A and B are shown apart, each in its own frame.
Chain A
Amino acid sequence: MDNLCTLIVDDSSVMRKIVERSLRQAGLGISQVLEAGNGAEALTAVEQNKVDLILCDINMPVMDGLEFVKQLSTMEKAKGVPVVMITTEGSEGHVVQALSAGARGYIRKPFTADQVKEHVLPVLGGKQ
């Protein structure tokens, strides 16, 4: 599968563009990119689309990334969809919280395209 639909969740539109560019530079077979500015918008996007991969910030208004991942884990439609957190909150506690909530990977900002590839590729399994 090389036509991945990716959802990028971040309250910064500049950061969403950087993440998208990093994914494309990494050559991960991204065909469609959806954007959301917070967790609530992201849940709606997942409801309305067939999403293969989610990259998500933690600190966001309305609904933060950890709450989003928790709610996502209860959605039938989202079963098996990997979530990788991309955030400035890089402490061990935050990593544990995110992974416990259901995230499959964790990338600290600032990051490089290579680091995005390194963390995203394993969670895609056979999809890429």
Chain B
Amino acid sequence: MTPANSTVAPIGRECWLPTLQLALQEVFDLMLACPLEIPAVPPPIEGLDITSMVGLAGQLCGILTVRCSSKSAARMASRMLGTPTEKAGNQMWDAVGEICNMVAGNFKNKINGLGDGCMLSVPTVITGADYNLHSMVNLEIQTVLLFEGEPLVLSLEVHG
């Protein structure tokens, strides 16, 4: 298969955070031609009004979310489409949904034995930051990376 997906991590949960970061970085490297940075100091997380979610079911049950600002989402769409940001804005929901979908797929394909045992939902995208998500999880892994200097929050919330 493709080199981007050739790394298979052990299933131990201690590996999930770096595996999530790698899955996200590969998507941005390959599909947006834009490396993400891991910030030396955690940046302030505010103004993130776009949330994309993909559900996981099967051996791993939970939800994977990617949060960013509208400005960042439009820039992502611009990079994916190869068009100016002002022309790509109306595609930003599709773009961040697809990014979340690719990150979820890339992540599960890196966890040994999970590829066939975990199904993904189609992505859902929420606009607005004033909401609470109650997903009844007992494990949450979160990481913040920088996309063009702006925070991008990736979370994996797992049941069981």
Contacts and interface: CB of A to CB of B under 8 A. Distances in A.
Nearest to B116: A93
B5 to A, nearest CB: 5
Nearest to A93: B116
B122 A109 contact: no
Query: Which of A11, A110, A111 gathers the greatest number of chain B CB atoms within 10 Å?
Result: A110
Interface string B67-107: 00000000001001110000000010011011001101110
A110 B26 contact: yes
B115 A108 contact: no
B135 interface: no
A12 B116 contact: no
A93 B120 CA distance: 15
A106 B115 CA distance: 15
Given A15-B98, A88-B120, A109-B102, A115 B2 contact: yes
Do most interface residues of chain A lie in helix, strand or loop, or is the interface mixed? mixed
Size bracket of the B interface:
20 to 34
B101 to A, nearest CB: 6
B33 to A, nearest CB: 9
A123 to B, nearest CB: 16
B80 A92 contact: no
B77 A14 contact: yes
Interface residues of A, number: 27
Contacts of B11: none
Contact of B105 (A15, A89, A95): A89
A75 interface: no
Given A12-B98, A110-B26, A92 B91 contact: no
A85 to B, nearest CB: 12
B38 interface: no
A18 interface: yes
B13 to A, nearest CB: 20
B35 to A, nearest CB: 13
A21 B80 CA distance: 10
B30 interface: yes
B95 to A, nearest CB: 5
Interface in A81-104: 87-95
Q: Which 4 A-B pairs have the closest CB atoms?
A: A91-B115, A88-B105, A93-B116, A110-B30
10 contacts: A14-B77, A88-B104, A89-B120, A93-B116, A95-B1, A108-B4, A109-B31, A109-B101, A109-B105, A112-B30
Given A13-B94, A111-B4, A111-B30, 6 more contacts: A17-B80, A18-B31, A59-B101, A89-B115, A95-B1, A112-B4
Interface of A: 11-15, 17-18, 21, 59, 61, 87-95, 106-112, 115
